[in-house]
Amino acid sequence: MRRVLFAILLLAAPCGAFALTWDFADGSTWGWTAWESSSYTNRSGSPLQTEVVDGIWRIAPVPGRRPTVQLRAPLIGQDSALFDRLTLRLRLIHHSPTEGPFSMRWSNAEKKRHPKAGLIITGRNLQPYPIEWEEITVDLRALAADPEREIIWQDTLYTIRIDMMLYRDTQDTDNHPKFLEIDWIQLTGAEELSQGELSPRDLGVGLGPLGTLFAESDFFPLGQGIGIPTLWRGNREESHGAVGDVDGDGDADLVAVWHRVMGRERQLGWTVASNDGLGGFEPTQELLLSTEPADSSPLMDLRGSDFDGDGLLDLVVDYQWGGNVEVWYNWGGGFDPILQLFDVALVGLADGDGDGDVDLLVSDAPSQVIMWINDGYDFVNSDTFVLDSEEWHWAYLSTGQPLGEAASLLWNGYCFEPQDFWQLTRPWAATQEPPLSLEAPINPCALHLLADLDGDGTVDLLGSSERIDASPHNIDYYGLSLWRRDASGGWTRDSLLDWKVFPSQATASDLNGDGVLDVAMVAANSTVGPALVVLLGQHNSVPTLEGYYPLPGEGSQVFASDVNGDGDTDLVVLGTSPADGHGGVFVFINQGTPATAVAVETAATPTTFALGANYPNPFNPATTIPLAVPAGARNVDLTIYNILGQPLRQVCTGPLPAGEHQLTWDGRDAQGRPVATGVYMYRLQVDEQTRTRKMVKIE
């Protein structure tokens, strides 16, 4: 067996050594991911299709273009001095060996003190790639010192990137290798195994207790190209799907984005996965939306809501990022485009003007947002808001804002520039308010969620505080913290997850029915691999960790909805199966049992009012509406309205004791007659404050 060696100087000799081996025998990649390499292309890398077959990690380069692979290690978090070489056991699935460039780079703690240090590239232009199993070793000690290079191999080793071009002739695409297979990856020290064997589980920190609020997940395959991780992080994150009733049966269905490389084309579209009523999903429809050249890296952002009040899920899609935004209405037999906007980027969906309807927010220039106003049936006209600022700012839309309350926008600077002040606005509120200037606590790239997570009526920031420069073009943010406004107008920061945890997109929803938004997100570390993490929001306090739920594959985005019709909010995670690399959903059913992580103060008297999601929803014949009344409230009014805004029934009017209440509407109007199937609004008014939500009655 041949070893191919190349090396750089190791400045700090190890005092003892470990062997750290990642093998894939159990079907997991242990947090390693494979991307198209940006080092050998002129584009941002895209995630590659991979699968684990019989303990072998199989990676498919993109057909029709330069066969490059970038391997991204999970966070290592150990002292660099423990290791001095990296070895891969690999082979190509190809008719003959090839050769091409190979390089390695890493990030360590010295990067924080010396900007040019700790991010080092070493490599060779002609690395042989075999078709039989062989080992390629990067020896970090073998070369003599080079005073021209600021090489530092010391302190905490964060992560590693390995870039490979598997075939040099970029024009001979028919002769490109089909697969790269990896048996194992190993970091070792000069004194092999002198201090024992490390497991990937030894690297990370625990995510906390296993969760109990949700049952163990079931995976439902939906097809190739679904569940690929988000390509853009920062001021604007893509959504890769939407949950709602597509076929009119009252169940929460799923629409999921896919993109696939077919020959020399890259195809974009979506798949409709129908719900069987018990929380199981099966693909039933597929739409091809756009075809792009295979060497492009298109982005696609898809979101959904019921725009016209018929109880069916409608869609908005941005598939050229700043080029083309389309609104598609669901007429019961399929989706049709009814509005097309050019040269704009999707900001998001929210009740912009506080009238109870979901409006469309787009942007056509920095510091500017256009709201297309929904009149309850159609987007009839638009209104533009321009932020009064000499600097360019981008709008970030808060999550979980209730209908009936004008949307808040957070304006921040470009993701990779220093941040001074952000501005918070409610452009279309009934009462004009001046922008609120806020000292920027974190970089926008590290912001995961903007929402009121403690029920005090002000927005909180959920983000990551630990920046790691994985490569010149890849910056990752680790850990999870919450920033809340304090009495002086500044920020109070609370740490929620350890810095060795790598979080992804988050969603906010009331998961335990206490009227406060909770958080669900995909996070990963070397200890447990990818997992669904649930944090429960607390009244006037910091969210507490309910627990984590291991994912048997990769996860990318979380949706919250009642998918089995029992009235509890379940979680649906887009992702991929390690068995075949195909995409699908992991479904976590809410068991409706109190979570042990809920803090004691949730039982205390609320200090602000809250209106929770009714359950079940959709319903027939009756539904329960949870609400919280603060101390000192003089009058409480809960009224049901039809979609035209006409009052149908007063469920409650007058004083209520301070605390949490569950009120039931029997589905009848003021005359005692059952109301027809359709969409209804329920509005809570406590003294001078109001909240409004939607619900659907079915046959």
| SS3 of 448-492 | EEEECCCCCCCCEEEECCEEEEEECCEEEEECEEEEEECCCCCEE
pLDDT of residue 586: 94
pLDDT of residue 10: 31
pLDDT of residue 378: 86
pLDDT of residue 370: 95
Of the pLDDT bands very low, low, confident and very high (cuts 50, 70, 90), residue 43 is low
The predicted-structure confidence for 442-500, as pLDDT tens digits, reads as follows 888 888 888 888 888 788 889 888 877 665 556 778 889 999 988 777 889 999 988 77
Amino acid at site 313? L
Q: What is the CA radius of gyration of the chain?
A: 26
Q: What is the mean pLDDT of residues 141-145?
A: 49
Least confident of 154-168, 193-207, 540-554, 678-692: 193-207
Of the pLDDT bands very low, low, confident and very high (cuts 50, 70, 90), residue 7 is very low
Helix, strand or coil for residue 550? strand
Please determine, for residue 117, whether its predicted confidence score (pLDDT) is greater than 80: no
Q: How far is residue 516's CA from residue 546's CA, in Å, rounded to a whole number?
A: 14
Of the pLDDT bands very low, low, confident and very high (cuts 50, 70, 90), residue 157 is confident
pLDDT of residue 647: 84
Most confident stretch, 109-123, 223-237, 620-634: 620-634
> Is residue 200 reached through a cis peptide bond, with omega within 30 degrees of 0 on the bond before it?
no
Q: Does this model's pTM top 0.85?
A: no
Q: What is the mean pLDDT of residues 526-551?
A: 86
Q: Report the chain's mean pLDDT, rounded to a whole number.
A: 80
pLDDT of residue 406: 83
The predicted-structure confidence for 602-642, as pLDDT tens digits, reads as follows 344 555 677 877 888 888 888 989 888 888 788 889 999 88
Q: How far is residue 70's CA from residue 161's CA, in Å, rounded to a whole number?
A: 7
pLDDT of residue 151: 62
Q: Could you identify the residue written with the tokens 């078709």?
A: 131
Q: How far is residue 31's CA from residue 482's CA, in Å, rounded to a whole number?
A: 25
Please give the domain boundaries of the chain with CATH numbers for all domains.
Answer: 20-188 (2.60.120.260), 218-588 (2.130.10.10), 610-697 (2.60.40.4070)
pLDDT of residue 543: 93
pLDDT of residue 526: 61
The predicted-structure confidence for 323-373, as pLDDT tens digits, reads as follows 789 999 998 878 999 999 998 989 999 888 888 889 999 999 999 999 999
Comparing 589 with 298, the larger pLDDT belongs to 589
Of the pLDDT bands very low, low, confident and very high (cuts 50, 70, 90), residue 197 is low
The arrangement of strands across the sheet holding 436-439 comes to 394-397, 409-412, 421-425, 436-439
Q: What is the mean pLDDT of residues 182-194?
A: 73
Phi-psi region of 674 (alpha: psi -120 to 50; beta: other; left: phi over 0): beta
